[in-house]
Structures are given as C-alpha cells and as structure tokens.
Amino acid sequence: MKSFIIVSDSHRNRAALDKLDGVFAECDYIIHLGDLSSDGGYVRQKYPDKTIVINGNCDLDKLGDDERELEVEGVKIFMCHGHMYGVKQTLMRLAEEAASRGCAIALYGHTHCARVDEIEGVKLINPGNLSRYSANSYCYLAVHNGKAVEKIVDIES
C-alpha cells in the first residue's frame, strides 16, 4: 500500500503546512496542487524524495510541473491545478482529459472546495485548500493493488 497527502491552494500559509509535518513524514507521497508552488517547494525542501509540486494559476515562480501523471500500485493518477480545465464551471473537461490519458484518478485544486466526484469512471478529487481565508482541508489517499480509497480531512484552525 502507498499513501498520499494531497494539498492545494496554500497561498503562503506555511503555518498550515507545518501543522501537517507529522503526516507528511509518514506518507509515501506528498502532492501540492498549486497556488503557491513556492509553498510546495518549501515542503519539497523537507521531503525532496516524495514531494510532487504542480503549478497553479497564481504561480509566477513555476517551481513544479503544469501537469503530471503517476502510476502507483496499478492506479494511474493525473495531477493538475484545474484552472486550464475550467473546474469552477464543470468537471467534465477534466474527467475527459484524465480518461484520455488512461487515468483512473484526477487530482485538482483551484476551487478551494474539497470534494470527490466520479464521472464516467474517473474519480475526481479536490483536497480543498490551506489558505488563511477559509476552512482548511487536505486529502489522504491510500492506493493498493489497483484500488484507491480517499478521505477528505478537515484541519482545525
């Protein structure tokens, strides 16, 4: 089994990232889905071998990838910030893109709203946000032998 901690939209709230240091230390992968990729870089300095950083629409420094795919334990995962797929209006374009890449899961941020959806066999996961301006959350994802189970975790302020 492999475990992921997925965060997004931290917008310079490194205190929220520091709160997650214990779970970051214990997981196999840390994914920061953008806004700000410099915060993802901050996490990557501590955990360089397991942190993946994705650029978002507010990321002028571009410290990560715009999009990325990863296959773990027989599950192919597509990662992006989401703004290029219009996720504030619809998730269909994101689901179609993930499916065209053969991905069973699409991870995205941008909306600041934690949610899990499934469209045409693609599981779409948004971990929420870690900004200073709203309730914070992240996603814990466990992947094993071709199956994936996710849990949105609310963080107390």
pLDDT in tens, 24-77: 999 999 999 999 999 999 999 999 999 999 999 999 889 999 999 999 999 999
What is the token pair recorded at 142?
Answer: 């466990």
Give me the pLDDT at residue 61, please. 86
- Asked if residue 148 lies in contact with residue 118, where contact means CB atoms within 8 angstroms, the answer is no
Examine the pLDDT at 5 and tell me if it is beyond 80: yes
- List, in order, residues 6 or more apart from 24 with CB less than 8 Å away: 5, 30, 43, 46, 47
- Asked if residue 141 lies in contact with residue 4, where contact means CB atoms within 8 angstroms, the answer is yes
**CA dist., res. 150 & res. 144, Å (int):** 12
Give me the pLDDT at residue 142, please. 98
Give me the pLDDT at residue 134, please. 87
Give the residue from 141, 126, 33 showing the smallest Cα distance to 87. Answer: 126
pLDDT in tens, 88-102: 999 999 999 999 999
Strand order in the sheet with 2-7: 51-53, 29-32, 2-7, 136-144, 147-155
pLDDT in tens, 103-145: 999 999 999 999 999 999 999 999 999 999 889 999 999 999 9
Give me the pLDDT at residue 33, please. 98
Give me the pLDDT at residue 156, please. 78
Give me the pLDDT at residue 157, please. 60
Structural domains in the chain, CATH included, are 2-155 (3.60.21.10)
- Asked if residue 20 lies in contact with residue 46, where contact means CB atoms within 8 angstroms, the answer is no
